[in-house]
Amino acid sequence: MGILLAIQGAVSQGVLWGIMALGIYLTYRILDVADLTVDGSFALGGCTCAALVTAGMNPWLSLVVAVAAGMIAGFVTGMLHTKCAIPAILAGILTQIGLYSINLRIMGRSNTPLLKTPTIFKSLASMTGLAQNWVSMIVGAIFVIVLIAVLYWFFGTEIGSAIRATGNNENMVRSLGMNTNTHKVMGLALSNGLVALSGALVTQSQGYADVKQGTGAIVIGLASIIIGEVIFGKKNSFGTKLASVVIGSIIYRIIVAVVLQMGLNTDDLKLLTALLVAAALTVPVILDKRRQAASYDPMTDKKDGKGGK
Amino acid sequence: MLTISHVSKTFNPGTVNEKKALQDINLHLEPEDFVTVIGGNGAGKSTTLNMIAGVYPIDCGTIYLDGVNISRQPEYKRAALLGRVFQDPMMGTAANMQIEENMALAHRRGRKRGLRWGVTKEEKEVFHEELKRLGLGLEDRMTAKVGLLSGGQRQALTLLMATLQKPKLLLLDEHTAALDPRTAKKVLSLTEEIVTEERLTALMVTHNMKDALRLGNRLIMMHEGRIIYDVRGEEKKKLTVEDLLKKFEDASGGEFANDRMILAE
């Protein structure tokens, strides 16, 4: 019974973290930028939300502010990258490091419990009489469905197509009269807004915010994307791809729940995640090389003089 | 239409790698001029086109296009006036996007982009007709990813995209050099057709002297960052490959032999 409960918790966590994975998907796969702001902006979302809720703000409204904060973080990374010509990875790291201090300032301490403050999940749970886990799962699922629909629409519009093209071929985008820098900043802001939303939702659902809650978030997001791609393949329609990212996030959480149930030390979790991502990225490369090697034919056994010596 | 005055460009100034790519370029194009540009490697042909397109900032001088001073405008702003096709067939299209999505992006060149849908139904009909004239069967594959097309198909598509919105000036930077001879011929005849039909003003860099002589109403030859020969109209029609080789030899002295390869067909 314990494992079932753990898996149920894992699914609801997976859905909420899946929103972050969607944000990472925008930069990693669509813009083709490795954005390391994520670790900072995830915590930013959580810390902003926790500080505001404990100060008495409506928990729903605090989500909106968290998204805005995340978008500003993405905007800063975008500016550092485009205006100051700092490589994207470094620009992201700079914002991330800066955000650590900012997050501490926002909360005034490193950890804020939300035990006595209202959260969207608590109020919905008391309203519907459902268990918190179920509420998290349902609310998360509604958020995810709405967000996927909005993203699907947005990336079909003129601006959305232009952002996709920027991740594909910047040279072409400029030659067709579009400012690639604007697209990158927009993409990064949008992505980090989603990441911060996820951070805020996770914070409200787990009942506390921690300044370190974003550590390794980028790797977890990549793991979700890659798990999704391994299971559903890379050649799907855009909507399916977005859905597979969230499903990847859920599967990641289930894997974690299972290995923890099997007795893995939580301290080893980050190492496990890193290994998982490294393996998932390596396996296709090795398989491809093997296929190549297997299909190689030196033609030495042909006697017509065309192969071998 | 285009007026370039006293434009120079030096790469890596003050270092051992200093390269005077353009030296005091002056060029005036009338509307509907179709100019072919020839010259050896490093003569400044591509750099001239890139300066007009705004890929690099110029060191001095001015560039006016259709009465607008574009000398210091960023690349994406000038693009509203320019159509461009590059030597590398991969450069002009987005591989992971559909043919119609690529065309829709090109169709909006120089226009404000908002939250309207990226490809409209009317556009799809227009694109279908436009693709037909390529004669490559692409009109039946409009939702295929561009990455699936061959280099020649991509180059033909880029050419079509560059002229979907009539440009004030069409810049063709050795756009057939990376293609096999048959495909190159096809893309070139398509170029000729489009430029003539749409009455475009165009600058075409080529390594092929025969093409340079056969196409267009004007020819310029570049050497070491300068325009050393400029001929048009009847005079150009009478030119032969031998005349050009002679001209080139006079200008470059002993370097002729080195450049022979690239001048031959």
Across the interface, of A157, A164, A171, the residue whose CB is closest to B115 is A157
ipTM, two decimals: 0.90
Regarding pTM above 0.80, the answer is: yes
Contact B76 A177 (CB under 8 A): yes
Q: What is the 3-state secondary structure (H, E, C) of chain B?
A: CEEEEEEEEEECCCCCCCEEEEEEEEEEECCCCEEEEEECCCCCHHHHHHHHHCCCCCCEEEEEECCEECCCCCHHHHCCCEEEECCCCCCCCCCCCEHHHHHHHHHCCCCCCCCCECCCHHHHHHHHHHHHCCCCCHHHCCCCEHHHCCHHHHHHHHHHHHHHCCCCEEEEECCCCCCCHHHHHHHHHHHHHHHHHCCCCEEEECCCHHHHHHCCCEEEEEECCEEEEEEEHHHHHHCCHHHHHHHHHHHHHHHHHHHHHHHCC
What residues pair up with B203 in beta bridges, in sequence order?
Answer: B35, B171
- Chain A residues with beta carbon closer than 8 angstroms to that of B109: 176-177
Across the interface, of A161, A172, A178, the residue whose CB is closest to B118 is A161
State the CATH class of domain A2-297. Answer: mainly alpha
CA of B106 to nearest chain A CA: how many angstroms apart? 6
Instruction: Write out chain B's pLDDT in tens, 265 residues.
Output: 899 999 999 999 999 999 999 999 999 999 999 999 998 888 999 999 999 999 999 999 999 999 999 999 999 999 999 999 999 999 999 999 999 999 999 999 988 899 999 999 999 999 999 999 888 999 999 999 999 999 999 999 999 999 999 999 999 999 999 898 888 999 999 999 999 999 999 999 998 899 999 999 999 999 999 999 999 999 999 988 888 888 888 877 655 445 544 554 4
b vs e for B107-137, b when ≥16 Cβ sit within 10 Å of the residue's Cβ? bbbbeebeeeebbeeebeeebeebbeebebe
Closest-CA residue of B relative to A154 is B115
Residue B61 sits at the chain A interface (C-beta within 8 Å): no
- Chain B residues with beta carbon closer than 8 angstroms to that of A234: none
pLDDT digits (tens, 9 = 90+) for A130-180: 988 899 999 999 999 999 999 999 999 999 999 999 999 999 999 999 999
- Chain A residues with beta carbon closer than 8 angstroms to that of B53: 175
**Predicted local confidence at residue A302, as pLDDT:** 67
CA–CA distance, A144 with A141 (Å, rounded to integer)? 5
**Predicted local confidence at residue A304, as pLDDT:** 59
- Chain A residues with beta carbon closer than 8 angstroms to that of B92: 172, 175
- Chain B residues with beta carbon closer than 8 angstroms to that of A159: 113-115
